[in-house]
Each structure stands twice: as structure tokens, then as C-alpha cells.
């Protein structure tokens, strides 16, 4: 990274620090947030959980399907100048979020998009971006998510949301479970 060039010149100290921070922390909040949504879904859907317990070989496909259904990243853009779009006034400096879930849940793109199907053939979700903006850590993220599910379900095959408790989730550039009380015997 220290030998990188940008527009034909060596990158400066600030750019080195920025790139290094991206590499070190790139998947930290996104992967842990995704784990929370996976566990929330599986705690509420014993039939899906049982599929993975009975057939651990299905876990890789389950990771992609759960990623499709529970997209956590939202692309944010700052409004550059005051304007009105589709009857909605926007002011300079406002943050506009575009959830990746909108693509992943589009019925024109996916059959029955709200249903989680570990055997779904079309796995082309948009959680890791695309083109030159494709996430460099996508293979590591998938590996971490697969191992988490395999190891958790091997040890704790039956779990649920703790009785009398309510989950809490946050939304922003990254959606996250802020409180996920799981219970098991």
C-alpha cells in the first residue's frame, strides 16, 4: 500500500492512513451487523434453522440467500444543492440513503423476494456492490458468515428470541441489530 500511486503520483500520508483504515476495519461493522440479522432470522424460523442443522453443506447457499434477504448496507449521498425530486423537497446537505435491499427484494429481479429459500438458484444479490465498487473483502465476509453459522448451529442447534424480550434494530448507512436477546437450553 505504501508503494501505491494515485493519478501518477505516490499517495500521501493521509491517503495511506485512509487506505489502511479501510483494509483494517472494512468488514468489521458490516459482518457483525449481518450476523445479527442472520441470527434474528434463524431464531424466528426453526424450519430454516433445521435445514442447516440437518445439512451443513447447505450453509454456503444459505449465506448468500440470507445476504440477499437481509441487506445491511445503504448507499448514502449528500444533496449538493436545494432541489425538488418527485415532489419531495431536498436541501443542500441532506443525506439520501438508497438501501441495497431495494434491489435484492425487487420482484422483477427475484421470484417471491420476501421468502428465504436456501435452494434459490439466482444468487446475484447486490450486498457487495458491483463493478469497480465491488467489495474486496466479499470472500472473507462470506467465509466468516459461513463459519459463524456452522459453528453456532453445531453447538446450539435450537435457539429463539428470549421470552418477553423485543429486538431493536438501527438503520443508517449500515443497518444493525442493537439488541438481540437470544435464548437456548
Q: Tell me the pLDDT tens digit for each residue of 129-178.
A: 888 888 888 999 999 999 999 999 999 999 999 999 999 999 888 899 99
pLDDT at 142: 95
- Please give the model's pTM, rounded to 2 decimal places: 0.83
Q: How far apart are CA 51 and CA 58, in angstroms?
A: 8
Neighbouring C-alpha atoms within 13 Å toward the C-beta of 38: 28
The DSSP element (H or E) to which 9 belongs, if any, is strand 9-10
pLDDT by residue (tens digit) across 111-126? 999 999 999 998 888 8
pLDDT at 42 > cutoff 90: yes
pLDDT at 129: 84
What string of DSSP letters covers 83-145?
EEETTEEE-TT-EEEEETHHHHT-TTTSSSTTS--TT-S----STT--GGG--TTHHHHHHHH
Amino acid at each position: 500500500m505504501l508503494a501505491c500511486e494515485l493519478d501518477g503520483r505516490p499517495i500521501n500520508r493521509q491517503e495511506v492512513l485512509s487506505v489502511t483504515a479501510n483494509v483494517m476495519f472494512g468488514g468489521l461493522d458490516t459482518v457483525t451487523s449481518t450476523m445479527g440479522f442472520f441470527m434474528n432470522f434463524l431464531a424466528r424460523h426453526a424450519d430454516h434453522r433445521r435445514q442447516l442443522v440437518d445439512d451443513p453443506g447447505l450453509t454456503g447457499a444459505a449465506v448468500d440467500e440470507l445476504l440477499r434477504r437481509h441487506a445491511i448496507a445503504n448507499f448514502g449521498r449528500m444533496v449538493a444543492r436545494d432541489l425538488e425530486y418527485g415532489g419531495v423537497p431536498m436541501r443542500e446537505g441532506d443525506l439520501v440513503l438508497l438501501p441495497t435491499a431495494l434491489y435484492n427484494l425487487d420482484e422483477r429481479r427475484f421470484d417471491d423476494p420476501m421468502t428465504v429459500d436456501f435452494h434459490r438458484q439466482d444468487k446475484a444479490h447486490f450486498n457487495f456492490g458491483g463493478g469497480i465498487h465491488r467489495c474486496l473483502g466479499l470472500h472473507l465476509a462470506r467465509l466468516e458468515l459461513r463459519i459463524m453459522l456452522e459453528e453456532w448451529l453445531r453447538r446450539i442447534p435450537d435457539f429463539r428470541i428470549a421470552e418477553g424480550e423485543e429486538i431493536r434494530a438501527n438503520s443508517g448507512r449500515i443497518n444493525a441489530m442493537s439488541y438481540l436477546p437470544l435464548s437456548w437450553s
